[in-house]
Amino acid sequence: MDLLARLRRSGRGALLFALFAVPGSCNFGKADIAQAPEHPTFDPDVKQVLADHCLLCHGDPPNRGAPSRFRLDVYNDVVGGPRGAFFEASDIIRTVDSGKMPPAALWGDGVGPNGKLVLDRWLADGAPP
């Protein structure tokens, strides 16, 4: 019996279909941005990287068990969260750089090198809006 038939019988086929066959369903497989600007700003540069890889869970509304206070689509929530200015932004970037987030990073499909460069440059410039 082939793999697809076994998945259908086990009931896991629908889950795999939802995760991988529906375009854009999980934002896995998003291409890296073409080029990192020298001095990125939150909107549009950083927000685009976050939209491609983070806002599925950390947007409005928060999904998949993400804490409601941890939204990444609002500038003030990213740079001046409850733990203080820039701590939240640097913590987010450290988490992305480590490969802990987004979850697709576990399969080698996280934020690309240019996307990480955007985040790093943005923080180095003082996280401008």
pLDDT tens for 83-93 read 554 567 788 88
- What's the pLDDT band for 15 if we cut at 50, 70, 90? very low
User: Are 88 and 79 spatial neighbours (Cβ–Cβ below 8 Å)?
Assistant: yes
- What's the pLDDT band for 63 if we cut at 50, 70, 90? confident
State the chain's mean pLDDT as an integer: 74
- What's the pLDDT band for 65 if we cut at 50, 70, 90? confident
Q: Name residue, tokens 């733990």.
A: 83
What pTM, to 2 d.p., does this model score?
Answer: 0.69
Q: In terms of residues, how long is the chain?
A: 129
Angle between helices 87-98 and 113-124 (to 10 degrees): 160
User: Are 99 and 105 spatial neighbours (Cβ–Cβ below 8 Å)?
Assistant: yes
Residue 114 Cα distances to 37, 55, 82, 96, 121, angstroms: 9, 18, 29, 12, 10
- What's the pLDDT band for 53 if we cut at 50, 70, 90? confident
pLDDT at residue 121 greater than cutoff 90: yes
Residue 91 Cα distances to 10, 12, 17, 35, 100, angstroms: 40, 35, 33, 23, 12
% the chain with pLDDT above 90: 20
